[in-house]
Chain A
Amino acid sequence: EAGVVQSPRYKIIEKKQPVAFWCNPISGHNTLYWYRQNLGQGPELLIRYENEEAVDDSQLPKDRFSAERLKGVDSTLKIQPAELGDSAVYLCASRVREGRNEQFFGPGTRLTVL
């Protein structure tokens, strides 16, 4: 079974530029999460999707961040415009909705904003 796929793995941009991250969850996983991990810290939740519906986006900075999960499968997280403080690793995780609790993480996208 393929794991969670994320791309790109690394991204370097200048501040004020836009950037987008893509996630393909494990097949059949209804729930998808985006987390941000700052250097030396644990991941922090940005948004949770149940199928195509964003059911928890309370931690998403909505002035510059947006996300979508069309057709309840792949998801894209966008930042526009990026700021220096957005430099971090952006992690995607997925989970089967019913039954088991395990969240499986992708390798992440390391964003550097110059």
Chain B
Amino acid sequence: GENVEQHPSTLSVQEGDSAVIKCTYSDSASNYFPWYKQELGKGPQLIIDIRSNVGEKKDQRIAVTLNKTAKHFSLHITETQPEDSAVYFCAASRDSGGGADGLTFGKGTHLIIQP
């Protein structure tokens, strides 16, 4: 089955600086890679995703890059703000057209924005 590794487990950055979280996956059949943000006591919230036919995707301050050959993908947050503080999860799954498999998640990164 799929295995997703995520680093670092904790990341502390100064407000206004950039944050980068990296993930690797093992199953070359995986073709969908979402990122979720989870705040305390809440369910994961999708913030951005990318499919395997795209190398990069950006949405305002958030961007995701994918390297299929190396089987790794990264989340980039620029101009960090206090409200970006949360736990971030990367995930991977296969969508065969007949329905998407369940997501395999990384262990999460606790992002701390220092004022």
- Tell me whether A and B are bound partners: yes
Of the candidates A31, A43, A105, the one whose C-beta lies within 8 Å of that of B100 is: A31
26 A-B Cβ contacts within 8 A? Answer: A33-B103, A35-B103, A40-B108, A41-B107, A41-B108, A42-B6, A42-B89, A42-B105, A42-B107, A42-B108, A43-B44, A43-B89, A45-B104, A48-B99, A48-B101, A55-B99, A91-B44, A93-B43, A101-B32, A101-B93, A101-B95, A102-B34, A103-B34, A105-B44, A107-B41, A107-B42
Q: How large is the interface on B (under 10, 10 to 19, 20 to 34, 35 or more residues)?
A: 20 to 34
Distance A41 CA – B109 CA, assembled complex (angstroms)? 10
Contact present for A45 and B103 (CB under 8 Å): yes
Instruction: Spell out B's residues near A (CB within 8 Å).
Output: 4, 6, 32, 34, 36, 41-46, 49, 51, 89, 91, 93, 95, 99-108
18 extra A-B contacts, CB within 8 A, seeds A40-B107, A101-B93, A107-B43: A33-B102, A35-B103, A40-B108, A41-B108, A42-B105, A42-B106, A43-B44, A48-B99, A56-B101, A91-B44, A101-B51, A102-B34, A103-B100, A103-B103, A105-B43, A105-B44, A106-B43, A108-B43
